[in-house]
A and B are shown apart, each in its own frame.
Chain A
């Protein structure tokens, strides 16, 4: 069974169908590449999956359980994490605090314990701080942990975005153009990190314009154009697909 099942999904804005009658399966522990020209509806699809929009028609189900129609925080609790196309961080907090805040859902001690800062709450807090440090270590941001997020260079901000998403311990991670603004070295390291995440059992959908990166990362690609799925399959198949070439060339001609 697929991890995420998208059935007959449409999202209309006024007259525009940003996503239209989309059927898509995402399988456990895969990296799925989602590509398509600008305005194809990729970000909108992410927004629907993560609950920012209630779809006009159709449904999204995680492990057979319907999630469309739930609030974003409820969907997050079901195990879907994401990053944003435009960098969104807790800008005035430190890098470390950003990640610790990301752990919001992982607390088990009651609110009263936390208000009173009891022993158990403190222990939990320390455990979470250790976890946060581990994530930063893994993504290579340890050296910057006391820096304010707003003062980071853009590439590091993108990385931090992934760290925050990881803190929620997601099963499915949606990455919206994670490589924009990164230099080639950063790109390579980030790709490495994403592969390691997959090895740890996190399923990933990645939207990215850097074709080389996508090809090296994903086994399977889905191409959107005008909200519709125009192709789906292995990388090589997609490369030679007529409809895809047209969609991209059509865009260039405009």
Chain B
């Protein structure tokens, strides 16, 4: 119950956030955090099955381009185009992974990587998709008479997507489906002996994960108003993996969120040169893999005294009420 009230508080804070944060750039970063959280959770869903996708960006792109093309070329309303982006991405995943999964996790991994490259290559070379210069002038989302324009409105939209995503994933993870996924992730042999059809469950996880990557791709397209193929490069997929790992790979929902938050805001704080950022990220990642393989969220698990220490300092600073 304590957990539930905590989550309710967090949600209220998030809803009230735009009232406090007036700086549009910070709001922009928060929007990015939410986007990467959704991508990271999509990655995590596959990781729960010990599938490692290196192609998140490709599915993100499929969703974004589908939605953008539907809106610009066929004048489909946005609120239809967004789920359509998700469905397109899911169908693409179904096609690719139903084949790749026959070869096991390593083939899945490689094929996801290769297919993301195919996507980027196709988007760049085929002129219908706008070529390497990208797809420009994508209209902002419009639902009924309401046109999304301000950062605040986009913030609420992405927050809604994120919350829906979390609810859906939570429902899945606590059901028999999620238990089967956990079983696969824990021991494929034992899961099989207990009657779990590994192939089918893994395929389901990849398709569902990619659906949400597609949905957030659609959001991205209409938020940025343009899509450039090189955005969806290999590096982007790797960043998603990194964020999930930094947050904590065993926390399938909280991990990506915490990781994205830290990794979107940290470079801003450091204001490191754009050029040196990959080096910094790489080094940080290696350090975390070696010294904190469970991610930031595992700190609490590893060092129970840290939580108590935090409480004590908080009381000293009167951040936390002493009477509770």
**Which residues of A does B touch, CB under 8 Å?**
50-52, 71-73, 76-77, 81-82, 84, 88-93, 97, 100-102, 104-105, 107, 111, 114-117, 121, 125, 164-165, 167-168
Contact = CB atoms under 8 A, between A and B. Distances in A.
Contacts of A167: 194
Interface string B176-208: 110110110011011111111110000000000
B183 A101 contact: yes
A105 B195 contact: yes
B197 A71 contact: yes
A16 B176 CA distance: 41
A89 B171 contact: no
A236 to B, nearest CB: 34
B321 interface: no
23 contacts: A52-B192, A71-B197, A72-B192, A73-B194, A76-B194, A77-B195, A89-B190, A90-B182, A92-B186, A92-B250, A101-B180, A101-B194, A104-B179, A104-B183, A104-B191, A105-B194, A111-B177, A115-B171, A117-B171, A121-B175, A164-B190, A164-B194, A167-B194
B212 to A, nearest CB: 14
Given A104-B179, A117-B171, A73 B197 contact: yes
Which residue of B171, B183, B194 has the most chain A CB atoms within 10 A of its CB atom?
B194
A204 B182 CA distance: 28
Contacts of B189: 52, 72, 84, 88
B192 A76 contact: yes
A116 B193 CA distance: 27
B264 interface: no
Given A71-B197, A73-B194, 15 more contacts: A51-B192, A52-B189, A76-B192, A82-B193, A90-B182, A90-B183, A91-B187, A92-B250, A101-B180, A104-B176, A104-B183, A104-B191, A164-B190, A165-B193, A167-B194
Contacts of B180: 101, 104
Residue among B189, B193, B198, B250 having the largest count of chain A Cβ atoms under 10 Å: B193
A76 B193 contact: yes
Contacts of B175: 114-115, 117, 121
Contacts, number: 82
B29 interface: no
Nearest to B208: A115
B179 A72 contact: no
Contact of B187 (A52, A90, A125): A90
A130 to B, nearest CB: 16
B172 interface: yes
Contact of B186 (A90, A105, A111, A168): A90
Nearest to B199: A71
Contacts of B176: 104, 107, 114, 125
A89 B189 CA distance: 10
A88 B190 CA distance: 7
Contacts of A105: 194-195
A91 B194 contact: no
B171 A116 contact: yes
A168 B195 contact: yes
Nearest to B174: A117
A90 B262 CA distance: 31
Contacts of B186: 89-93
A101 B179 contact: yes
Contacts of A90: 182-183, 186-187, 190
B194 A168 contact: yes
A108 B291 CA distance: 45
Contacts of A111: 177
Interface string B55-74: 00000000000000000000
Contacts of A100: 179
A158 to B, nearest CB: 14
Contacts of A84: 189-190
A156 B84 CA distance: 51
A53 to B, nearest CB: 12
